[in-house]
Structure 1
């Protein structure tokens, strides 16, 4: 069984000193959980070198929050996949809702970033999800399927063999609102079902091996309930990942879930 995955997304937060203090508190505790779960943290790009260096040989890995779809050239302010790979990043978020909404990243651009990440030997974490308006109008499933289809059109269904999907209902990110358990479970199952239905044969179906994690105001109080849902294979944690005790408790909840699955 593939290990569950927990990713901490620091967003645009941190400083050299704060990062050092946070990692100093996190590393000893998180290392104890690596037998049960995989753990990654995604700092802002100026701190990638610091975090990669601090996490070297700990088993905890570093991820980036975004990447350019271009390999090099006149793209001021952008960071290429090869640059992130050189720093030993393992994961890269692509299509986070804040990138899609605030920076107008299209699904086509997200798919190109997905491909660039894989070509550089890293694992893309494809973020998908609907706005409140889309959910209330009954379009949630269609929106998510379109976001998935854009990647299939770019790299083929086989691209999901070496990828992670993160379901993040846009209306639940940073708002304190959390999707109901039934909503989370339903969407995760529908993502897996859509990918499975897109496969021409069982052998070419990546859906059962794919890790689908949930992101949307996860905290230590609701983590256990969310992680115990069917088809939830971990979490993409935002603000709570900046609080050492909170992130450790969330990590422990995921590790306990993984233990329970193994013992069944």
Structure 2
């Protein structure tokens, strides 16, 4: 049986004090989450160490939102995977559409980051997805397949076992638009088929999250799809009640 995961991506929001208050609100409600559903919060870098201390022994995991593709050195402003791991974080989001779009992150760069994150025992939450024009041009499957083959299919079976995938239709991020449950299922099943071509039956074990304006009002329908294993939640993760409500939607 595949893992059920709800991960909150706070993006560039909250001060450390605000983040501490938000985590306290989440922890106050975490008992409402059904058994077997994993919660992850992904805070800004500035919050990681206090967040790890606050989340200790809570069952809620911590993720960074990015990491560097180098071990160390003269890379001003970058944060190495070893540094992230030392904070107590156990996951890292890689390949998010905002990193690809605004910071020019390529598949080659993301493969370097993914390999290095895994080396330092960080589990990647690896994001894939198409833009609106790519879907409208009917090349969305080709785009997603290329993203998977360039990075995930370059991993070993042992490495894949530590990876969580997140499908994010770029046209549905922060726009209020959401893929229909049928569209989400169609793409998640396709993603699993691409993995199966390389990894065989192991593809059935990989958790694939949906990320794209998922909220309490639509999470139940989306999570009910057979190949959707949870969500990578943006804006709704900044409200503890909404984040917990989504986690209760399985």
TM range (shorter): over 0.9
Whether the aligned pair in 2 keeps the contact of 1:157 and 1:198 (CA below 8 Å) is no
For residues 88 and 19 of structure 2, the distance between their equivalents in structure 1, rounded to whole angstroms, comes to 18
Matched, 1:225 2:221: yes
Q: Deviations over 1:133-169 (max 9, x none)?
A: 0011111111111111111464345532210000000
Whether the aligned pair in 2 keeps the contact of 1:171 and 1:177 (CA below 8 Å) is yes
- What is the root-mean-square deviation in Å for CA atoms of aligned residues? 1.3
For residues 159 and 148 of structure 2, the distance between their equivalents in structure 1, rounded to whole angstroms, comes to 11
Length, aligned pairs only:
250
Matched, 1:11 2:4: no
Question: Equivalences for 1:157-196 in 2 at 5 Å?
Answer: 158-196=158-196
2:234 corresponds, among 225, 232, 238, to 238
TM-score normalised by L of structure 2: 0.96
Whether the aligned pair in 1 keeps the contact of 2:33 and 2:244 (CA below 8 Å) is no
Whether the aligned pair in 2 keeps the contact of 1:31 and 1:60 (CA below 8 Å) is no
Whether the aligned pair in 2 keeps the contact of 1:158 and 1:206 (CA below 8 Å) is no
Whether the aligned pair in 1 keeps the contact of 2:25 and 2:240 (CA below 8 Å) is yes
Q: CA deviation at 1:32?
A: 4.3
Q: Secondary structure at the match of 1:162?
A: coil
Q: Who is 2:112 aligned against?
A: 112
Q: Who is 2:30 aligned against?
A: 30
For residues 50 and 242 of structure 2, the distance between their equivalents in structure 1, rounded to whole angstroms, comes to 22
After the TM superposition, list the runs of 4 or more consecutive aligned residues in structure 1 that deviate by more than 2 angstroms.
31-36, 152-159
Matched, 1:64 2:64: yes
Q: Secondary structure at the match of 2:214?
A: coil
> Which ranges of structure 1 fall in alignment gaps of 5 or more residues?
258-264
Q: CA deviation at 1:17?
A: 2.1
